[in-house]
Homo-oligomer: A and B are copies of this chain.
Amino acid sequence: MEDTSGEPLAEGKTKIVYAHPHDTGLVVIRHKDGITAGDGARRNQIAGKGALSGRTTAAVFRLLAREGIPSHYVDSPAPDLMVARRCAMIPLEVVTRRLATGSYLRRNPAASEGERFDPPLVEFFLKDDARHDPLIAVDAIVAQHLATAEEAAAMGQRARAVFLALERAWAAQGVTLVDLKIEFGRDDQGALLLADVIDNDSWRIWPGGERTAMLDKQRYREASVVDASFLASLHDSYAEVAERVERF
């Protein structure tokens, strides 16, 4: 069992990052039971969500490794724990979209719900809750030294590759992967590495291509009433997703 009793290196809304007790090149990530939406305006606890997120993200990173796409993932010694290579995170959300929905429609009035992008399109957003993670141009990423132009191009290419691999895996189960958010870091050699988590909060998935059948965190964002009954049902969605992703 990994020792996560030390001081956290970082803590986010859904995870805590600890230094690895025996290897300075690694970290231990503990997935928390929290779920938030609206940049933190809505917050709840779902007992067991951390373990479900951990199982989902581990299974996703193992699939990607089989597909030849490396990430920071090393091991998952317990459902809610992930050992990963230590990265300096790049403060960007890299979003790949196959179908137009959500914020894309609000920003692009000529687009219609469910419009298909082929190839899937990639957008970069600056991680900044106070400004609601604004879209950022590649030139601005470079000007602010968040990433070089070459890194930005590589992130775009890798984001598409990750999306296509997960889209195929979901399609084999009759599920449409609508969009996907990932993050990158740099390892101790400065090399770009897929990092953070990829779990049921990272994507929109529509079984049978039906928006109303959605299994992902969007259910929580859209819920008009978040009571115990809804949270139990949401837990069931997260459990179903973890089980399905483990069959990838």
Contacts and interface: CB of A to CB of B under 8 A. Distances in A.
A108 B140 contact: yes
A248 interface: no
A136 interface: yes
Contact of A126 (B108, B136, B142, B144): B108
B126 A139 contact: no
A34 B130 CA distance: 36
Interface residues of A, number: 27
Interface stretch (A109-117, A203-211, A233-241): A109-117
Contacts of A123: 137, 139-140
A3 B239 CA distance: 72
A135 to B, nearest CB: 5
A139 B111 contact: no
Contacts of A138: 138
- Which of A104, A111, A135, A137 has the most C-beta atoms of chain B within 10 angstroms of its own C-beta? A137
Interface string A33-51: 0000000000000000000
A128 interface: yes
B109 A128 contact: yes
A143 B131 contact: no
Interface in A55-110: 104, 106-110
B122 A137 contact: yes
Nearest to A121: B139
A134 interface: yes
B124 A107 contact: no
6 contacts: A107-B131, A107-B135, A108-B144, A110-B144, A121-B139, A123-B139
Given A108-B126, A108-B144, A121-B143, 13 more contacts: A107-B126, A107-B134, A108-B136, A109-B131, A117-B143, A121-B139, A122-B137, A123-B140, A124-B137, A134-B135, A135-B135, A135-B137, A138-B138
Interface of A: 104, 106-111, 117, 121-124, 126, 128, 130-131, 134-140, 142-144, 156
